């Protein structure tokens, strides 16, 4: 079927994954907003209510990702689609989910201790909750994709951008090829999806030179054409991958250093 089938598969997968994301975020944020307070007892009740739903939704993200990639690989290779299922650990980060989803409350308490008023503190906790939930859904996608593509025999993949707006990190990273043996680097708020590259021959590091040039030119134009040395900033040398202790490979900007747990975005 080729491009037509692959486009249809992608459209369907994007719709399903966006629906999962929207429903989970709506549920989790509504549960947080509906709390009578944000003390230990409310935190415990919140965790009892939302963690099972979060873990279940992550498993669903894994299932639809496996089905999507199995069908894509089958079409690329001329074989039969055979999604065999993926196994995702409940603790995607290697940290118990209850500990992870208690962090928005810790964020709230910390903000109060630092002198913020209660509404501001709660809003900080809510923002932390949103970031954690989105990041964990993306982790479910990348872990499932690695299992599915490995089983399907793919060696290389690319990041496929989603939506009409994408950040510079994702845009530039989407022009590179990645090895299936390595998890796709993400960042908080990232919605990119892994897409297998046909064949087992290494296509080279840069697979979309034109998009890379356009992204570089746009960033240089927006941020200024020259740096201290009088040269245009080359963002192809700026965006790198760092290893996050929980999330794994994380897209970052060169010279952006993590100095402690509180400095890691999206924890």
Task: Give the sign of the dihedral formed by CA 62, CA 64, CA 66, CA 72.
Answer: negative
Rounded CA separation 104/95 (Å): 15
pLDDT recorded at residue 80: 73
Output the tens digit of pLDDT for each of the chain's 267 residues.
578 888 898 899 999 999 999 999 999 999 999 999 999 999 999 999 999 999 999 999 999 999 999 998 888 877 776 777 888 988 888 899 999 999 999 999 999 999 999 999 999 999 999 999 999 999 999 999 999 988 888 888 888 877 656 666 777 777 778 888 887 767 666 778 888 887 777 777 777 777 767 766 665 665 554 333 334 444 445 555 666 666 666 566 554 444 344 444 444
Name which of 142, 121, 133, 127 is nearest 69 in CA terms: 142
pLDDT recorded at residue 246: 66
Rounded CA separation 184/194 (Å): 7
Q: Number of folded domains in the chain?
A: 1
pLDDT recorded at residue 239: 57
pLDDT recorded at residue 98: 96
pLDDT recorded at residue 22: 96
Query: How many separate helices (H) and strands (E) can be counted in the chain?
Result: 7, 5
Instruction: Show the domain range for 252.
Output: 3-263
Rounded to the nearest 10 degrees, what angle do helices 103-113 and 118-152 cross at?
A: 150
Instruction: Tokens 């009892």: give the residue.
Output: 48
pLDDT recorded at residue 253: 57
pLDDT recorded at residue 255: 46
pLDDT recorded at residue 165: 60
Spell 241-261 as b/e; 16+ CB within 10 A means b: bbebebbbbbbbeeeeebeee
Residue 96 Ramachandran class (φ > 0 left, ψ -120 to 50 alpha, else beta) = beta
Q: Whole-model pTM? A: 0.78
pLDDT recorded at residue 84: 74
pLDDT recorded at residue 231: 40
């Amino acid at each position: 079927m080729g491009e037509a089938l692959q486009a249809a598969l992608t459209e369907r997968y994007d719709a399903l994954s966006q629906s999962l994301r929207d429903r989970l975020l709506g549920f989790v944020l509504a549960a947080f907003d509906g709390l009578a307070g944000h003390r230990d007892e409310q935190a415990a009740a919140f965790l009892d209510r939302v963690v099972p739903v979060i873990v279940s939704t992550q498993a669903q993200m894994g299932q639809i990702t496996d089905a999507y990639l199995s069908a894509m690989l089958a079409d690329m290779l001329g074989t039969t689609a055979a999604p065999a299922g993926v196994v995702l650990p409940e603790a995607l980060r290697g940290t118990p989910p209850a500990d992870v989803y208690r962090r928005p409350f810790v964020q709230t308490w910390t903000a109060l201790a630092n002198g913020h008023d209660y509404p501001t503190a709660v809003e900080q906790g809510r923002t932390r909750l949103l970031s954690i939930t989105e990041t964990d859904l993306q982790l479910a996608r990348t872990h499932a994709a690695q299992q599915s593509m490995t089983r399907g025999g793919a060696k290389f993949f690319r990041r496929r951008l989603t939506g009409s707006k994408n950040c510079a990190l994702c845009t530039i990273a989407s022009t590179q090829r990645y090895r299936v043996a390595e998890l796709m680097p993400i960042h908080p708020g990232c919605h990119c999806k892994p897409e297998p590259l046909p064949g087992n021959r290494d296509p080279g590091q840069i697979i979309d030179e034109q998009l890379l040039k356009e992204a570089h030119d746009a960033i240089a134009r927006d941020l200024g054409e020259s740096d201290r040395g009088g040269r245009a900033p080359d963002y192809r040398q700026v965006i790198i991958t760092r290893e996050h202790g929980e999330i794994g490979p994380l897209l970052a900007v060169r010279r952006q250093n993590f100095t402690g747990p509180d400095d890691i975005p999206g924890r």
